[in-house]
Structure 1
Amino acid sequence: MTNPYFFGYGSLVNVATHDYHNPQPARLAGWRRAWVHTDLSEAAFLTAVPCEASEIDGLIAAVPGADWDALDEREHAYDRLPADGSVTHAVQPTPAISVYAVPRSAHNPGSARHPILLSYLDVVVQGYSQVFGTDGVAEFFSSTDGWDAPILNDRATPIYPRHQLLEAAQTELVDHHLAAVGAKVVAG
C-alpha cells in the first residue's frame, strides 16, 4: 500500500519544521495562498484558497501508514481536503494527496490585533528559498494575497513555535519582498 501524501504550501515547505518522508517539489493547480485570521489563533496564517486560474508551488511528503493524527493536530485550524488530480509531482506510483485549507466561513482578514508573524513568514520564505530558489520566493509573494495585514516584527523574540534561524541573505530576501509588496512591518 502506498502512503498518502500532503501538499504543503507554507511552513511545511520548510523541511526543518517536520520529519515527513520523501519531500518533493510539487505544484497545485486551482488554488492561491492567502493570509487569514480565524478565531483559533491570535496571528494571521496562510491558507489555500480555491482559484481556478491560479497555481502554487509547494512540497509533497509522505504520511507513513496514513497516520494523520500529528499533522492534523499541527494543522488544527484547517480542513484536510483531497487534492489528488490537482497536484503535479514526480512521485511514482502516484499517491493520494491532501491539502489543508481553512474553511471559507472562518476567514477573517489579518489586522493590527491579528498580524502576520515575521518569524512565521521567515520560516516559509526560508523553505521556498531552499526548495525553489529566489525565483520561487518571488513566485510565493506574487501568488499570495493578504499582504495588507500588518507584519509583526518578532524576529528578536520569535512567537512562531517552529521558528528557524535565517542566514543574513535569507532575511534580506524576506525584507526585500515585503517592501516590494508594500507590506507594513510593525515593531514587536
Structure 2
Amino acid sequence: MKHPHFFGYGSLVNRNTHSFTPIHASQIAGWRRIWQRAPNRPAAFLSVIVDSDSVIDGVIAPVPNDDWVALDAREFSYARLAVTDAVRHAAIDVRDISIYAIPPSDAAPPDKDHPILLSYVDAVLQGYLREFGEAGAERFCTTTEGWDTPVRNDRADPIYPRAQRLTETEQTFVDDMLLTLRAKVFA
C-alpha cells in the first residue's frame, strides 16, 4: 500500500526527534536550505526556498495513517508543499511527497532577537552525522544559507523542545563547523 511521505531536511533527519518510520535517505532538487524566522516563533529555524541550481540531502518517511495532523502541528508556521517529482529516493511505498517551508510572505531574516538555537543545530547536525556521515554533515553546512545569523548557545539549558544529547565527537564536530562557518555564537 502506498502512503504520503514528507521530505525532512532539518531536525526530521534526526531519528531521535520523531517516531516516523521507515526513513529513507533521499535528495531533493530545486530547493535550498536557509535560516529564517516566522512571526510566531521566537527563534530562527531552517526553511527551504526555490533554487533551480540546488540539490540537498534529506530523508523521506511515511505519514502514519495518512494523517498529517501531528506533523502539521510539529511544523506550525510552515506551509506543506507537494514536491513528489523533485525527490530522488529508493522507497517503494510512496504515493506522494510533501516538504515544509515558511511561506515567503511570512519569512523574515533572523537577527540577534531571533537567533538560531545551538540546541536545534545540535539536533540537526547529529541527524546528518548519523544518516550521511561527516561528509554529509559538511554538505549540509555548505548548502545552507544564513550562517551569519547569531547562534544562541543554549546547550546547557536547551530551549529547542526536541534537543538531543551529543556524543563528545558529535559536539566537537558541531563546534568545529560553527568556527569554520564563522558563526557568531553567543551565551
**TM-score interval w.r.t. the shorter chain?**
over 0.9
Partner of 2:54: 54
| SS of equivalent residue, structure 2 residue 182 | coil
CA–CA separation in structure 2 for the residues paired with 1:93 and 1:70 = 21
Aligned to 1:186: 186
Q: Say if 2:92 is the partner of 1:109.
A: no
The corresponding residue for 1:133 is: 133
What does residue 155 of structure 2 align with? 155
Distance in 2, Cα, partners of 1:80 & 1:8: 12
1:95 deviation in Å? Answer: 2.8
Partner of 1:20: 20
Contact 2:4 2:94 survives alignment (8 Å): no
> Between the two proteins, what is the percent identity of the paired residues?
48
Q: Aligned partners of 1:2, 1:92: CA distance in 2, in Å?
A: 8
SS at match of 1:107: coil
The yes-or-no answer on 1:164 pairing with 2:155 is no
Instruction: Name the residue aligned to 1:78.
Output: 78
Q: Counterpart of 1:41?
A: 41
Deviation at 1:94, TM superposition (A): 3.9
What is the CA–CA distance in structure 2 between the aligned matches of 1:164 and 1:24, rounded to whole Å? 21
Residue 65 of structure 1 and its aligned partner are, at CA, apart by 1.9
C-alpha distance in 1, partners of 2:67/2:83? 18
Structure 2: distance between partners of 1:174 and 1:23: 23
Question: Residue 144 in 1 paired to residue 114 in 2?
Answer: no
Runs of 4+ in 1 over 3 A off after TM superposition: none
Unaligned segments of structure 2, at least 5 residues: none
Q: Does 1:124 find its partner at 2:119?
A: no
Q: How far has the Cα of 1:123 moved from its partner?
A: 0.0
Structure-2 change in CA distance of 1:93 and 1:38 (3 Å): closer
Deviation string, structure 1 residues 13-41 (Cα, Å, up to 9, x no partner):
00101001210100010001000011110
TM-score, normalised via structure 2 length: 0.98
Of the structure 1 ranges 93-102 and 73-82, higher mean CA displacement relative to structure 2 is found in: 93-102
TM-score of the two chains, using structure 1 as the length reference: 0.97
Mapped to 2, the partners of 1:95 and 1:53 lie a distance apart of 26
Count, aligned residues: 187
SS at match of 2:149: coil
Deviations 1:69-124 (A, max 9, x none): 00000001100000100000001144311000110111111111000000000000
Contact kept in structure 1, 2:39 and 2:107, CA below 8 Å:
no
Find the aligned partners of 2:166 and 2:103 in 1 and give their Cα distance: 32
Partner of 2:69: 69
Distance 1:106 1:181 in 2: 27
- Residue 100 of structure 2 corresponds to 100
| Root mean square deviation of aligned Cα | 0.8
Q: Name the SS of the counterpart of 1:95 in structure 2.
A: strand
Judge conservation of contact 2:35–2:145 (CA < 8 Å) in 1: yes
